[in-house]
Structure 1
Amino acid sequence: MASEEYLPITDLGTLKALAHPLRMQVYRLLCVARTATASQLADQVDEAVSLVSYHLRKLAGHGLIEEAERQSGDGRERWWQPSSRGVSIRDADFRDAPEQVAAHLAATRLLHEQHAGMYRRHLDERAAWSAEWNAAAGDSESLLRLTAAELAELREKLLDLLRTYDEKGRSAEAAGETEGREHVALHVYGFPFRV
């Protein structure tokens, strides 16, 4: 059974295992689907089932995913699920050595490149979404003047609000209220900059 908590990634090996472009994409798709087979995921990423199976085993080897209950009568199918609600990767856990700093930076850049790719895809497909979804979706930029403590407080409040909506969506889905629900990505970045 998958944990409802976020799994903190604190070791270099697990960070490197996740920081592979295809693995990160497969992990994200599995988090969205909640359970899937290598074959189902391979169709979504347009890769060979054997390659996706290899990457699933790598993710499982680091405790990021686990086998799930079979969803069909086909005994040959191996079903997977995330081992937790998601992962958290903190900068503070990867500052002890140059190799750790470099690995954390590479993983973070890959994650943000994939976020940008998701958003570009949304922009390309915007015309296919209803007026209601186009009105609801959006992006914004806020240029604030804060202390590090205020930014940390703002981040925590935003995460709390996000968790509230995540729980609301999961509860509604568990109650069978699926009509009108879509997968939604919310990417929030808060960082200092100088002009």
Structure 2
Amino acid sequence: MTSQENRRITDLGTLKAIAHPLRMRLYRNLFVARTATASQLAEQVDEAVSLVSYHLRKLAEHGLIEEAEAQSSDGRERWWRPTSYGVTIRDEDIRSSPELAAAGDAVGRTVNEQRAELHRRFLDERLTWSDAWRSASISSEWLPRLTAAELAALNKELDAVCEKYDRIARAAEAAGDTEGRENVAVHLHGFPYRP
């Protein structure tokens, strides 16, 4: 059963597994779908089913996904689901080892590239969305001067707000309320910089 908590990744093997760009896309698509087969995911990422199956098995080896109950009567299909609500990589878990830090950075770069691609695709397709969706979409930048503790507190509050709305949406979907719902990406970055 999928855990309602985030999975905290602390080992090198799992970091390397999720850092792979195709595996990250598969994990994200599986997270959105809740359950899916290799064939369904292969269609979404435009890759061969055999390649997708291989990468799904690698994600499963590291406990990031697991087999799910079949959603159809075709016994040949293997269904997958995430093992947790999401994944978390914390600096304090990887900073003691150069290998862990490098793998954590690789995950961060993969995630950032894929997030940027999602946003680029929205910008390219923006006019295909309704006025309501275009008006509801956000793109903003804030440049406050904070302490590290204030940034950590801000992060905690923003996470809580996003999790609240995600859980509301999941409960509504479970109750059959899918009218007007779309997948929504919310990307937040908060980091220090020097001009």
TM range, normalised to the smaller chain? over 0.9
Return 128-137 or 98-107, whichever deviates more. Answer: 98-107
Return 112-121 or 88-97, whichever deviates more. Answer: 88-97
Aligned residue identity for 1:156: K
Could you tell me how far apart the structure 1 residues matched to 2:149 and 2:194 are? 18
Aligned residue identity for 2:11: D
Aligned residue identity for 2:45: V
Could you tell me how far apart the structure 2 residues matched to 1:78 and 1:171 are? 26
Q: Which residue of 2 aligns with 1:172?
A: 172
Runs of 4+ aligned residues of structure 1 deviating over 2 Å after TM superposition are none
Give aligned pairs, total: 195
Could you tell me how far apart the structure 2 residues matched to 1:167 and 1:107 are? 25
Deviations 1:26-73 (A, max 9, x none): 000000000000000000111000000000000000000000000000
Q: Which residue of 2 aligns with 1:70?
A: 70
Q: Please tell me whether residue 35 in structure 1 is matched to residue 43 in structure 2.
A: no
The TM-score with structure 2 as length reference comes to: 0.98
Q: Which residue of 1 aligns with 2:19?
A: 19
Q: Which residue of 2 aligns with 1:82?
A: 82
Deviations 1:98-135 (A, max 9, x none): 11211111111111011000100111111110000000
Task: Tell me the percent identity.
Answer: 65
Q: Which residue of 1 aligns with 2:184?
A: 184
Q: Which runs of 5+ in 1 are unaligned?
A: none
Aligned residue identity for 1:2: T
Q: Which runs of 5+ in 2 are unaligned?
A: none
Could you tell me how far apart the structure 1 residues matched to 2:129 and 2:44 are? 20
Q: Which residue of 2 aligns with 1:59?
A: 59
The TM-score with structure 1 as length reference comes to: 0.98
Q: CA RMSD in A?
A: 0.7
